[in-house]
């Protein structure tokens, strides 16, 4: 029997696939399990967005193959959002293209640009899909260490110039998964300058752009002068508008990269379904009104989670953005020990920090994907390993 490629066979299991398998075992024993691992929003898609989808479904012109590089209305709605939200004017259609989510966009970008011998610079810790996309192209990762002390921003001055010289991409994600860290325009300017100096494509993954809970709204890399020459930005409807199941992403920025991405995408599919493009058009036209209640929902979820830990006598700090609590493990325990214990004893699935890179091993991540009351109760129970460690 022919085997899948050596590259595919060599890729480590996705942390969430491993967690799902473990969860299934406990469920098969007859238990109900609360899954706070994957960041799949529990807040439903807003009603007005559902209505936009229904209207699109009813339109017989929306049932054929979609416009691969995006309907003009989607282009316009996204461009207007970029002007309103960031003061950035895109040149359409050359500077944007829709994708079925930013996960797909990333995999396609890496496939379009990377081959064995190439590298991509990412932070250690980072969204695990970056690592897997690079591995699938047979390319290599260079992980830049980050710590809470520097707001999880990498020290770009410390990057080995030889490694920088070999890199195709520097990928940064702020607001950040898993840490919830935010960043500043000054830091984006640093990243733009670094990428210009080393002739690297800067990818800004801004999947959580509307989920800043404390402080200024997140900036776009394109607010920085010269960014258009080196950068592309990945926007997503999944978290900002609670439409993860629709699969809508927008890639915008440097036109030759968009052209290469479009070219690659003609090889692998027919683009984003028209119905989803119409939903995206509605979402970007009404972005502020749609995302505000969702953001409030996350505020309430974080407050409930912190309260649950507090009731158990454990203090945790919510992040300024995003939808995850990123908590140091109790002394003397590993991230996987805490994860296994919470699954076995509390029937709650969380994510071990090492799933986001070796630098994440001293942490676990809890997703704010349950209603506040349930989350409060769950977090009170999740505190057990910290309570036990404090009692020793």
Ligand X SMILES: Cc1ncc(COP(=O)(O)O)c(C=O)c1O
Structural Rg of the chain based on CA atoms: 21
Minimum CB distance to ligand X smaller for 119 or for 177: 177
Minimum CB distance to ligand X smaller for 66 or for 330: 66
CB of 313 to ligand X, least distance (A): 31
Residue of 254, 10, 5 whose CA lies nearest to 131: 10
CB of 99 to ligand X, least distance (A): 8
CB of 247 to ligand X, least distance (A): 7
Tokens of 19: 């967690």
CB of 129 to ligand X, least distance (A): 7
Minimum CB distance to ligand X smaller for 37 or for 102: 102
Minimum CB distance to ligand X smaller for 274 or for 351: 351
Determine how many CB atoms are found less than 10 A away from the CB of residue 312: 16
Residue of 11, 292, 52 whose CA lies nearest to 137: 11
Cβ distance 97 to 104 under 8 Å? no
Minimum CB distance to ligand X smaller for 318 or for 330: 318
CB of 85 to ligand X, least distance (A): 17
CB of 126 to ligand X, least distance (A): 8
CB of 127 to ligand X, least distance (A): 4
Minimum CB distance to ligand X smaller for 205 or for 346: 205
Tokens of 200: 């690297």
Minimum CB distance to ligand X smaller for 244 or for 387: 244
CB of 178 to ligand X, least distance (A): 8
DSSP string, 182-199: ---HHHHHHHHHHHHHHT
Binding site for ligand X (CB under 6 A): 39, 101-103, 127, 173, 177, 205, 207, 236, 238, 244, 249
Question: Which parts of the chain fold into alpha helices (H)?
Answer: 6-10, 15-28, 47-58, 72-86, 102-113, 128-136, 161-166, 185-198, 255-268, 274-285, 287-311, 335-341, 372-382, 384-391
Minimum CB distance to ligand X smaller for 14 or for 336: 14
Residue of 156, 213, 203 whose CA lies nearest to 182: 213
Sign of the C-alpha dihedral computed for residues 71, 76, 77 and 79 taken in this order: positive
Residue least distant from ligand X (Cβ): 101
Burial class of residue 40 (count of CB atoms within 10 Å of its CB; 0-12, 13-18, 19+): middle
What's the rounded Cα separation, in Å, for the pair 286 and 52?
11
């Amino acid at each position: 029997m022919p085997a899948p490629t050596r590259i595919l066979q060599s890729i480590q299991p996705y942390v969430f696939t491993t967690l799902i398998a473990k969860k299934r075992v406990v469920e098969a024993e007859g238990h109900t399990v609360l899954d706070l691992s994957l960041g799949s929003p529990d807040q439903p898609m807003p009603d007005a967005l559902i209505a936009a989808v229904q209207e699109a479904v009813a339109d017989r012109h929306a049932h054929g193959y979609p416009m691969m590089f995006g309907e003009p209305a989607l282009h316009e709605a996204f461009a207007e959002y970029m002007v309103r939200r960031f003061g950035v004017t895109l040149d359409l259609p050359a500077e944007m293209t829709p994708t079925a989510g930013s996960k797909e966009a990333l995999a396609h970008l890496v496939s379009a640009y990377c081959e064995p011998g190439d590298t991509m610079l990412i932070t250690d810790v980072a969204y695990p899909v970056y690592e897997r996309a690079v591995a699938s192209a047979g390319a290599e990762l260079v992980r830049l260490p980050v710590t809470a002390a520097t707001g999880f921003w990498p020290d770009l001055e410390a990057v080995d110039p030889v490694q920088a010289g070999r890199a195709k991409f520097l990928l940064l994600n702020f607001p950040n998964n898993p840490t919830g860290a935010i960043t500043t325009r000054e830091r984006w300017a640093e990243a733009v300058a670094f990428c210009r100096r080393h002739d690297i494509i800067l990818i800004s993954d801004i999947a959580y752009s509307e989920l800043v809970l404390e402080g200024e709204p997140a900036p776009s890399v394109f607010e920085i002068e010269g960014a258009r020459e080196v950068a592309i930005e990945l926007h997503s409807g999944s978290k900002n508008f609670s439409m993860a199941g629709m699969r809508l992403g927008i890639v915008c920025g440097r036109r030759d990269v968009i052209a290469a991405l479009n070219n690659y995408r003609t090889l692998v599919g027919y683009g984003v379904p028209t119905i989803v493009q119409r939903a995206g058009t509605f979402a970007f036209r009404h972005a502020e009104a749609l995302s505000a209640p969702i953001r409030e929902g996350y505020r309430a979820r974080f407050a409930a989670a912190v309260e649950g830990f507090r009731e158990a006598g454990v203090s945790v700090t919510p992040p300024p953005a995003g939808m995850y609590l990123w908590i140091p493990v109790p002394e003397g325990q590993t991230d996987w020990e805490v994860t296994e214990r919470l699954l076995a004893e509390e029937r709650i699935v969380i994510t071990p920090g090492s799933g986001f890179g070796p630098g994440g091993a001293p942490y676990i991540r809890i997703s704010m994907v349950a209603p506040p009351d349930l989350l409060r109760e769950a977090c009170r129970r999740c505190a057990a390993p910290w309570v036990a460690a404090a009692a020793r």
